[in-house]
Structure 1
Amino acid sequence: MAFLPRPVLGAALACAVFLTFPASPAYAHDTLKRSSPAKDAQVSSLEEIELEYTASVKFPFVVLHDAAGNEVGLSRPRLSGPTVTAEVTGPIAPGAYTIAWRVVSSDGHPIEGEIPFRVKGSRSPAASASSVPSTEPSAVEFTATAVPPAAPAGVPVWIWGGLAGLVVVGAVVAIRTSRRAPDREDADAD
């Protein structure tokens, strides 16, 4: 029975440690601290949306939809540290609305969410016409390309890189050891 050389055992042990104790998930992602309007709030009017996060964020993306899923016009989101602000570009009709937002947190991971709320009042024909989507793209749609794709869940890339490095080191050690093994057998035979 052949025993594995110490470097190969060391590489195998290091791989076992990496696989046994994976990196813990990131619990420090920034979160939405406060919003105006607040979740499930009832407001009489809406001129501006304000989202405040627990830390500074990047690449803000904010969209406002009515109950029918029609997009309501917003200005390009402005960023000031942990606060994102977007102005409503026209009057909105009473009814249910949802703010959909997405930002890149200070740790580089995208976070997103939705904030449902209601606008109080009676529905008027003039106000209903303002919620009809226009064929012209809004400024918010252009910022969508700046948001990087969501990072896949699972094992972080640095662990895969470390494991690949260990496999390469283990293979080099195994090849070197196997090339030396016939020399040792010849020396023992003499």
Structure 2
Amino acid sequence: MIRGWLIVALASLTWWSTPAPANAHTDLISSSPTTDEVLTGFPETVQLVFSEPVAPEFVTVTLTQDAGPSLELAPRAEGATVTAPVPALKAAGDTPADGWTLSYRVVSTDGHPITGHIAFRVTGSGSTSDKPTQAVATPATEGSRGQGRSVIIIGVFSAVTTIAAMYLLARGRARDRHE
């Protein structure tokens, strides 16, 4: 009988000592250009600053003109900061006027993908300085899938532990009756 309670106590201790998945996610905290910013000239570089470091090998930054083709930039990540030079847009048809969207996808060091879009406008053809300011990020739906898997794994582990404890408890009671 004491062995059965000991098993239940150990199962409960295992359940309560299992760490919950972390809910902290990496967020975009500033960018240059910012969302809905109107620039008087085209930026020479774009910059994204995140709340935590990102994995440099999984950084993608794309620049798209409204109703136009996309231009994949060559981003460089150092810690929590991603910068990408913007090539000079001098060819006919590559006019910097009108609306642009800066799209990004990075992966935080804990493995969660972060994606977002920053829409901005350019009214001239000169370049501007790239001073970071506040921006709003679009959270990734892929990151929540990884967190859901952790909850499922913890749930399955808890169920198996509970079933094992119940089996051992029942087995101990059956032995006590036969003795």
TM > 0.5 fold call: yes
- How many aligned residue pairs are there? 152
Shift of 1:67: 1.2
- Corresponding residue for 2:163? 171
Task: State the partner residue of 2:61.
Answer: 62
Cα distance in 2 for partners of 1:11, 1:154 equals 26
Structure 2 length as normaliser, TM-score? Answer: 0.65
Q: Provide the TM-score with structure 1 as the length reference.
A: 0.62
Gaps of 5+ in 2: 126-141
Q: Is 2:39 the partner of 1:36?
A: no
Higher strand share: 2
Q: What residue in structure 1 maps to residue 118 of structure 2?
A: 115
The match for 1:96 is 99
SS at match of 1:152: helix
Could you tell me which of 41, 44, 48 is aligned with 1:47? 44
Structure with the bigger RCO (C-alpha within 8 Å, sep 6+) is 2
1:152 paired to 2:155: no
The C-alpha deviation readout for 1:27-84, integer Å capped at 9, x for no partner, is 3x2322322222211222233222222332122111111111521x243211222221
Once the two structures are superposed, residues 126-155 of structure 1 have per-residue CA deviations (whole angstroms, 9 ceiling, x without a partner) of: xxxxxxxxxxxxxxxxxxxxxxx5441754
The structure number with the bigger radius of gyration is 1
Aligned counterparts of 2:164 and 2:15: Cα–Cα separation in 1:
18
Q: Which AA in structure 2 matches 1:36?
A: S
Q: Which runs of 5+ in 1 are unaligned?
A: 123-148
1:175–1:114 Cα change, 3 Å:
same
